[in-house]
Amino acid sequence: MTPALMIKDVSHSYGARKALDDVSFSVPPGSFTVLLGLNGAGKSTLFSLITRLYAARHGEIEIFGHNVMRQPGVALRRLGVVFQARTLDLELSVMQNLIYHAALHGIGPLEARRLGQAALSSAGLADRAHDKARALSGGQMRRVEIARALLHEPRLLLLDEPTVGLDIKARADLLALVRGLVQEQGLGVLWATHLIDEIADDDQVVILHQGKVLATDRAQAIIAEHGATNIGDAFTRIAGVAQEKLSA
Amino acid sequence: MSEISAPNGFTLRQYLICLSGVVWREGLRFLHQRERFVSALVRPLVWLFIFAAGFRQVLGVSIIPPYETYVLYEVYIAPGLMAMIQLFNGMQSSLSMVYDREMGNMRTLLVSPFPRWFLLGSKLLAGVAVSILQVYAFLLIAYFWEIEPPTKWGYLTVLPALALSGLMLGALGMLLSSLIKQLENFAGVMNFVIFPMFFASSALYPLWRVKESSPWLYYVCEVNPFTHAVELIRFAFYEKVAWPSLAIVFAYTSAFLVAAILAYDTARGMLMRRGG
């Protein structure tokens, strides 16, 4: 089966500093894959390469078999992204943000309103469509960003540290929302995080450390392989760093 | 599965949806930022009502094309002020691009599956549309100050000139935005781009006067793209075409556009140099 996302031998440098070193892994369709790494591990760089903000000069990146450099249009329309930085236009209403995003995918305003209303309903924000984005809480903004990323019905969703800055309940809600999408709609998800408590035993985990992939397998398999008690313990053993950094 | 049934290319209609979406958003943002609109209007009006009124006795303007009679100094500087509105608008939309990039909004635009040149072009056209609105708002007020074209057709014939000069200044702003790494550097652009471009041009005084006082400055004014934007607008307002200026503005527009698109291109672009 064609993977939702395939990263093969990808390297990237900022001048002399190597941010990614021969990174390879894939995200199967209908899976929740966690990209686990500390801040500075290279997660955001990888996201920038997948979304073609930077050119992938070394290695191949494919979305459902379409190379992002050679067929960017075909690849990007199968992709939804939630960036680490907030990217809603705070001056506009929630619905206006969605209509703008839809236009960027060639979807007209009427269809966008219909899709937007449905997406907001499933994110539990149907009644906030006409509020300004500025009026939303951090957790609600994230949910709108997810609704927006799914508006053009992509089959792969990337989320870069989506829970940063959210309180415990908002984090749990967001995680449940995205896991639900994987189960109900068969979406392929790549969830980048440095927080181990967001990982379930059954999740596919890619451990990225200092630009290198150190392990890639189901969380429980990684734990078993390294004789660890949990995924944080396994990370500590593999990467040789203190576990506290994975819970802050 | 939608990824299989989705067509590979976008239709012309979808391109139009994308373009109008970008223009619509820029328009909404502009309406929400009322102070931006007011300051865009107040700036040229201050020049018109205060500067021009004060200098009208000092600076006489002889009969030079496109004018067929002596004109008041206010009438002479009006095209320069129209271009000034566009210059500020071009730089302001590039400021918003730097801001958008820092805040992440630019990412939303650039991960759209449409070709990058088209996305940047749409963004540029959106800025031009806003600048033209500002110019007409200025002309409406200026009308009551007796600044008007010889016939009403001038309001129409100036439109293509405004579109082209807006494109040129917007493309310049976009190029600058790709070169500016951070917001703080933007004050420098104001000082080193906007003011020299405006003052070393035919906006405030005819070039023959500049030539009399300093041949060197005259050549600077002659190569300044802003001079030619002003002359293009000045002639178009009088239902005439300044052919040399048209050619020069066209050439500068193409050069700035190509450079801006290359600068934002993933493979070669300046964005590559940024960490993140």
Enter the ipTM.
0.89
Annotate A117-163 with three-state secondary structure. Answer: HHHHHHCCCHHHCCCEHHHCCHHHHHHHHHHHHCCCCCCEEEEECCC
Q: Give B56 or A137, the one with higher predicted confidence.
A: A137
A82 DSSP β-pair partners: A159
**Which residue from B minimizes the CA distance to A42?**
B276
3-state secondary structure of A190: strand
Q: In this predicted model, what pLDDT tens digit does every residue of B55-114 receive, in sequence order?
A: 777 666 677 888 887 788 889 999 999 999 999 888 887 777 776 666 667 788 888 999
Given a cut of 60, whether residue B212 has pLDDT beyond it is yes
pLDDT at B61: 67
Tell whether A164 is within 8 A of chain B (Cβ): no
Chain A from 171 to 230: CB within 8 A of any B CB? none
**Which residue from A minimizes the CA distance to B118?**
A104
Which among B10, B17, B271 has the least Cβ separation from residue A53?
Answer: B271
Which among B2, B18, B28 has the least Cβ separation from residue A103?
Answer: B18
Instruction: Please state the rounded mean pLDDT for residues B204-211.
Output: 87
Neighboring chain B residues of A164 at a CB cutoff of 8 Å: none
Q: In this predicted model, what pLDDT tens digit does every residue of A37-48 receive, in sequence order?
A: 998 899 989 998
3-state secondary structure of A191: strand
Neighbours of B196 (CB within 10 A): 13
Measuring CA to CA, how many Å separate A224 from each of A2, B78, B137? 28, 77, 71
The chain B residues in contact with chain A (CB within 8 A) are: 1-3, 6, 8-11, 13-15, 17-18, 20-22, 24-25, 28-29, 32-33, 103-105, 107-115, 119, 266-267, 271-273, 275-276
Given a cut of 50, whether residue B2 has pLDDT beyond it is no
Query: Could you tell me which of A213, A168, A162, A186 has the C-alpha nearest to residue A24?
Result: A213
A103/B114 Cβ within 8 A: no
Query: Could you tell me which of A115, A118, A117, A95 has the C-alpha nearest to residue A107?
Result: A115
Instruction: Please state the rounded mean pLDDT for residues A157-182.
Output: 92
Instruction: Please state the rounded mean pLDDT for residues A63-85.
Output: 92
Q: In this predicted model, what pLDDT tens digit does every residue of A80-97 receive, in sequence order?
A: 999 988 889 888 999 999
Residue A77 is given by DSSP the state T
Mean pLDDT, all residues of chain B: 85
